[in-house]
Amino acid sequence: MGRTGNARKLRCSGADGWASVPAMTPPRVRPPGTADERTQLLGWLDMQRAVIHWKCEGLEEAAAHRAVLPSSPNMTMAGLVSHMRWVEHCWFEVLLLGRPAEGPHFDDGPEDADMMVDGTPLAQLLREYERQCAVSDEIVSGLSLDETGRHPEFNASQVNLRWMLLHMIEETARHAGHADAVRELLDGGTGYF
């Protein structure tokens, strides 16, 4: 089980010198180790989604849009949240169900257009992500894990929902790790799960 850190404060250095920053408390527990396959897959995905939200808690708006990695100028907390929203849409609505592709992921713009969210408040992006996750959950709840993708122009028909859920756990966890590092670089906020 994850460690909680709300009883301690961390000292960290930032642009303004040393400051005490409250350690972040993790959002939830892991799914039951003996649950059925669907419960475990959805539980792990939901936990990683919650980590994305958790890493944004209490973050100032300007910080949410500030890049901290010179080689990745669009990897901001706001950009990560937006990217995750569109990844959920892409995999579950477009590739799994074969619905029309919409959004910055599919425009003729730059590859990381879904992360270019200057001027969009973090709270709005988090709400959009939460709504998209609810759409994804509704889609997944009505299908067999053996259901294959239906998009005619993508090899999604060669992968089943089980594979897509595993991929989404991996994708969300990877970006939750990015969010963890970005948050610490922004304001020293840390928390381990």
Give just the sign of the alpha carbon dihedral 47, 50, 54, 60.
positive
Burial class, 133, CB count within 10 angstroms (exposed 0-12 / middle 13-18 / buried 19+): buried
- The residues, any chain, with a CB within 8 Å of residue 99's CB and separated by 6 or more, are 93
CB 182 within 8 A of CB 80: yes
Core vs surface per residue 71-82: b (16+ CB within 10 A) or e: eeebbbbbbbbb
Query: Bridge partners of 22?
Result: 9
Global pTM? 0.83
Inform me whether the pLDDT recorded for 12 exceeds 90: no
CB 187 within 8 A of CB 63: yes
Inform me whether the pLDDT recorded for 107 exceeds 90: no
Residue 87: the pLDDT is 94
Task: Kindly list the structural domains of the chain, giving each domain's residue range(s) and its CATH number in brackets, ordered by start.
Answer: 36-187 (1.20.120.450)
Residue 53: the pLDDT is 94
Where does the pLDDT of residue 156 fall: very low under 50, low under 70, confident under 90, or very high at 90 and above? low
Instruction: Report d(CA 21, CA 13) in Å as an integer.
Output: 10
Q: What is the mean pLDDT of residues 136-157?
A: 87
Inform me whether the pLDDT recorded for 162 exceeds 60: yes
Phi, psi of 166 (to 5 degrees): -60, -40
Percent of the chain with pLDDT over 90: 62
For 51-60, the pLDDT digits (tens) are 999 999 999 9
Q: What is the mean pLDDT of residues 145-161?
A: 83
